[in-house]
Structure 1
Amino acid sequence: MKRDDEGSVLLLAIGYALLAIAVIFVCVCATDLYIAQKRLDSLADSAALAGADGFVFVVDGAGARLELTDEGVLEQAEALLAALPGSASIVRAETPDGVSARVAVAGVWHPPLVSVFVPDGVALEATGISRTALQ
């Protein structure tokens, strides 16, 4: 008796098609995660640049100078984030040396495609550093 092998390739093709779709979903999500991190990096750099403008003009016996304060950096960084769309928040905004601003922002990434292979809600964080233009 001769056995009919017709249709056995169809199951294999369906299996490979499902695997290919799963790989495409993961690649799309990984690309979106990469772009979200780069946007957060850019936002942190922008917030640090804005924070570097939060200096105060100090006049004392040695002359006049510009000095950054933690409050000034935070105020300027919050003003920038309030003007931009998105749900990023400031983790910390400070000046380690009085002439540079360091701002850390955080956000949460959600995958564009619902998939069992990709977690939902990945926490992201980025830090930007900028120096005052006038010293």
Structure 2
Amino acid sequence: MDAMATEPLVRDIMHTPPVKVTPITPVNEAAQIMMDKGVGSLIIVDDSDNLIGIVTKTDIVREVVAKGLSRNVPVGNIMTKNPYFVLEDYTVKEAAELMGTHNIGHLPVLSRNNMKPVGMISKRDIIRLAPHYITLVYVLQSQVEKR
């Protein structure tokens, strides 16, 4: 039997539907959406629902709160543009490797069919649903930090 067939896939553990906003969404509104939905990040999409960025709670704290900026600043001003992402049929191991190598905690999940956002996967999802892979995330992350 193919070893990959037994590997859990991103689609099996991702949060769906993804929580999306546009780049003109004010930070205070984005923060409220995160609180209401219980998520730590939002996918930023254009008018055609294409992934253009991601914003996390950490981004809001670091780029808005700590710098004393207006809470009305658009998320497009602080988002990570062209973020790393995974496709829904990637293995959880591949997602964990990407997170560890690039020291990121959230990955948008795109559909292989149309490359539109269909979910989000986080380190917390991996810890909860595939805990044996979280070691991989932190081992790779520590190797990157030593460079």
- Fold equivalence (TM over 0.5): no
Q: Which one has a larger percent strand, Structure 1 or Structure 2?
A: 1
TM-score normalised by L of structure 2:
0.30
